[in-house]
Amino acid sequence: MEEVKDDKTYKGFVERLTLGITRVLENLPGVLDVRFVEKPPAEKRCLLSWEQKNNCALPEDLRDFYLTTDGFMLAWNTKLENEVVPVGCMMINNVAQLRPLIQSNVYSLPNAPTLADLDFDDDLEEPDGPEKPHFDSRSRIFELDPCNGNGKVCLVYKNCTSGIMAQQCEVWFLDRSLFWHYLTPSFTAYYRLMITHLGLPEWQYNFTPYGPSPQAKQWAALYQPLTFHGDSHPDAACEPLLNKLDPAEAFRGKAKPPTPKKKQAAQVPVSGGSTAKAQGVSGRHSVTKR
C-alpha cells in the first residue's frame, strides 16, 4: 500500500511540476519514450553560496523552483519508418551548472579576442525594444539552457555596478551568431513558454527575425499545430489566418425543406362542362353504333 501511495504522490508531483505536459505528449501520435528525470531539491546553502559568489540575487520564482527540484529534464522521441528519432528536450541547468557565460578554451590565449571585444555598439539596438545585454561588466549573464548547441538561453542581469548585488533579471536567447533576442521578463514566464512549445527543436528561434530552420518548422507544424505560425513577423496589413466559424450557422438544426403547395385545378363553368361531357358521351355512342 505504501508503494502505491508513493507512486501516486510522485505522479502528482510530476503532474504539477510539468503542468500536465507529460499526459499531453503521451497522447500525441507517434510520440515515444516520454522521460522525466527526477532530481532532488537544492539546498538553501547552495543558493546562498551562488548569490554570494556571483553577487546576484536569485529571483523568488527561480529560488522556489530550485528548492523544489535542482534542475529540469524532460525528453521525448518519435518513430519514423521503424526508427526512433529524438525530437523534444526541455532542460534547465541545476544550480551548479548555472555558470557565467564565458568564452571557450579557443580564446584562452593572451592576445585572443574575448566576448567583450565582440560586443556591438548601442547604435545598432532597436529603439522600441528593450536594452540588449552586453558581454562586458555592464551585464552578468548565466546559462539556463544550452539548447543542444543551437544557442543559449540565459538569465541576464543588466546595468550592473561593481561591488553591488544585482537584483533584477530577465531571460534572453543568444543565437549562434551572438545576437541577443528577448524572451520573457521572468523565469516563470519562460518556464511556461518552454512547456507550451513542448521542447521542440529550435523553438527559441520563433522569437528571432529569421525563425527556425525548415526541418524545425516541420516538427512544429506536426506536433504543435495550435500555436505554430510559419511567419512570426507577419505584415501588419495582413489579416491573421483564422478559421472564421459562425456558431449560429454551423451548429443550428438542419432546416426542413418547404412543403410544395398543391396546384388548385382551374374551375370550369358548369354549363360548359356539362355540354362538353354530353358531347363526349354522344360521340362514344355514335362510334359504337357504327
Q: Is 174 exposed, middle or buried (0-12, 13-18, 19+ CB in 10 A)?
A: buried
Residue 209 has pLDDT above 90, yes or no: yes
| Bridge-based pairing state of the strands 140-145 and 83-92 | unpaired
**Per mean pLDDT, which range of 44-48, 111-115, 236-240 is the poorest?**
236-240
Residue 31 has pLDDT above 80, yes or no: yes
Task: Give, for 79, the enclosing helix (H) or strand (E).
Answer: strand 72-80
Cell of 131: 536594452
State mean pLDDT over 80-87.
88
pLDDT of residue 234: 45
pLDDT of residue 130: 85
Integer Cα distance of 281 and 190 in angstroms: 100
pLDDT of residue 90: 95
**Per mean pLDDT, which range of 89-93, 111-115, 127-131 is the poorest?**
111-115
pLDDT of residue 14: 76
Integer Cα distance of 211 and 231 in angstroms: 8
pLDDT band at 289 (very low <50, low <70, confident <90, very high): very low
Tell me the pLDDT of the chain averaged across its residues: 77
Q: Is 28 exposed, middle or buried (0-12, 13-18, 19+ CB in 10 A)?
A: middle
| Per-residue model confidence as pLDDT tens digits over 248-267 | 443 444 455 566 666 665 55
Concatenated DSSP letters for 187-256?
HHHHHHHHHHTTT-TTGGGGGSSS-S-HHHHHHHHHH-TTT--S-SS--TTSPP------HHHHSSPPPP
Contacting residues for 197 by C-beta, under 8 A, at least 6 apart:
203, 206, 220, 224, 227
Are 151 and 143 spatial neighbours (Cβ–Cβ below 8 Å)?
Answer: no
Q: How big is the CA angle at 71 (ends 66 and 72), to the nearest 5 degrees?
A: 125
State mean pLDDT over 46-51.
96
pLDDT of residue 78: 92
